[in-house]
Amino acid sequence: MRRKLVAGNWKMNGSLAANAALVAGIKEGLVAQACDVAVCVPAPYLAQVQALVAGSPVGLGAQDVSAHASGAYTGEVSASMLQEFGVQYVILGHSERRAYHGESDAAVAAKTVAALKAGLVPLVCVGETLEQREAGQTNAVVGGQLDVVLAALSVEEAARIVVAYEPVWAIGTGKTATPEMAQEVHAMLRARLGAKSAEAAAKVCILYGGSMKPDNAQQLLAMGDIDGGLIGGAALKAADFLAIINAAA
């Protein structure tokens, strides 16, 4: 059985005071869970949140990493730097990075390799736009994004990633894929992993990242190939985040 993972993506939100209150609320409400929990925070807050989650079941994640180990890359953060702050997870290829920063599938693959070399768990995001879905291109687009990453990995490395399916049309729009729609894509992604190796298909968690909220989490998480959630807005409210964690337990 794959252990479920619920990861909060804080995006570009937070302050020292707000972070302290949010993490305190999460830790206070977190009972012994049958799922893994993480918060992926803006880089300036990694040291603060590292201290806040120390000794708790809450894992620490970053929101991006450079494909380069070091050097003249102003503004970039390397995987070894993240490692020094106790970071366990890193979000890669989020739809906002792809859309606003022009990140290609090849760039996401290179970052995935860098993260794995440093012992980080990459949360590799894939997803289609509304236009692509309506054109019947979901499997080609989403499967293709994953295939480029898998092609850069060894069989052993492929079993150490996490995949997050985030339909772009369902992020922050109020629209959500039905559990059946999400499951269909997750099953396709599981098959793509299986084409790489049976071990990857069996081990890799595939998270749903399209506006998972307390009121739809249980139905989504009941699907056979949905192994958790990459949570946006609901991760900024302790009560909502805890409700999703409880739905995954």
Active site residue 156: no
Residue 169 burial by Cβ neighbours in a 10 Å radius (0-12, 13-18, 19+): buried
Q: Is residue 123 left, alpha or beta, with left meaning phi > 0 and alpha meaning psi from -120 to 50?
A: beta
Q: Which of 94, 96, 103, 186 is catalytic?
A: 94
The SS3 assignment for 37 reads strand
Residue appearing with tokens 């925070």:
41
Residue tagged 């985040």 (tokens): 241
Q: How much of the chain is in helix, strand and coil states, percent to nearest 5?
A: 50, 15, 35
Instruction: DSSP letter for 215, please.
Output: T
Q: Of these residues, 96, 103, 128, 166, which one is catalytic?
A: 166
Q: How far is CA 177 from CA 93, 135, 169, in A?
A: 20, 16, 9
Q: Annotated catalytic, 166? A: yes
**Residues that are catalytic:** 94, 166
